[in-house]
Amino acid sequence: MASGSRMDGLGAAERSTLFLLGEGLCPPEILPRVQGELLVIQRAIRHSRFAWEHPFGHPPPGRRAKARGALRLKRAPAVATMTGARHGRTGIQGGNPMAEYTDPPINNATPVKERDEPQDLQGFLDELGNSREFQVNGVDARKGAEAVFCTLARRLSDGEDLKLLWSLGKGGIGTLLGTCNIHRGPSHAKRMGRAEFITDVADHLRIPGDQALRVLTVVFTAIRDRIPDDEVAAVASQLPADLADLWRRPV
C-alpha cells in the first residue's frame, strides 16, 4: 500500500484504485475498467458539488472582468445636470448611462396677436371719437367714418370693395363701407387723386381741407390696423401714388 506522502499527491480516483489493489479487492485484469468508472464518479461528484454551491453558475472566464466593471459602474453614484435645457435633454456626468432623459418642456406661450384693436363697430367708432383730430375739429365719429368710406368705395373696383368689406366684417365695421345717398350710383373706380379725395371728404363733413386731411389720416389708420397686410396692399394698388402713401402703414 502506498505511503501517506505519495497518496497526498494523487487524485481521488488514483487513491481509490491503490486502496482496492492493496486490500486485494480488485483483480488486476479488471483494474482499467474500475479506474474508468471511478473517474466518471469523481466528475459527477464535482459537478454536483458545484451545482449545490453555485446554483446560478459563474460567468465564463473571459467575461468576469466585464462583469466586475459593470458591477462597479452600477454602484457608482449618478450625477446628472441640465446642460441642454433648450433642447429638452439631460446632460450626463459621472459616466452613468442609466440616467434618464427629461421630456422636452411644453411651450404653453400664447402667440401675441399682430393687432388687438376691436373689430366691432362700436370699438371702431370709440377709437375715432377719442382721437385728438376728431375732438379738435368737432367731427362726429360715425359721420367722419362714413365720409371716408364713401369716398374710398367710389375709388375701389367692385371686387376690391367687397374684399375690404369682408375683411372689416360684414355685420360690423363693414356696414359703413359704401357710398352715401348723394354719391350712390354706378360710379365705382372713379379716378381721383389725393387732392380730389381730400376735397370730397371735406365736402361731406363741411370742414376745411386741412382738417379733412387729419380726419382722413385717423380713419385710414383705424381701418389699416384691422385688416390683413395683403388687403392693405390690394387697396393701395388701386389708389394713386400720393394717396397710396397716405394709406400704407408707416415704415
| pTM of the full structure | 0.50
**CA 16 from centroid of its chain's CA atoms:** 80
Paired with 81 in beta bridges are: 91
CATH of the domain spanning 121-247, picked from 3.40.50.12780, 3.90.420.10, 1.10.490.110, 1.10.3720.10: 1.10.490.110
> pLDDT (tens digit, 9 = 90+) per residue, 193-227?
889 999 999 999 999 999 999 999 999 999 898 88
Which residues of the chain are in CATH 1.10.490.110 domains?
121-247
What is the average pLDDT value for the chain, to the nearest integer?
69
> pLDDT (tens digit, 9 = 90+) per residue, 23-78?
666 666 776 776 677 676 667 666 666 555 555 555 455 545 454 554 454 444 44
142 pLDDT above the threshold of 60: yes
From the list 204, 41, 222, the residue with the least C-alpha distance to 121 is 222
Cell of 175: 356696414
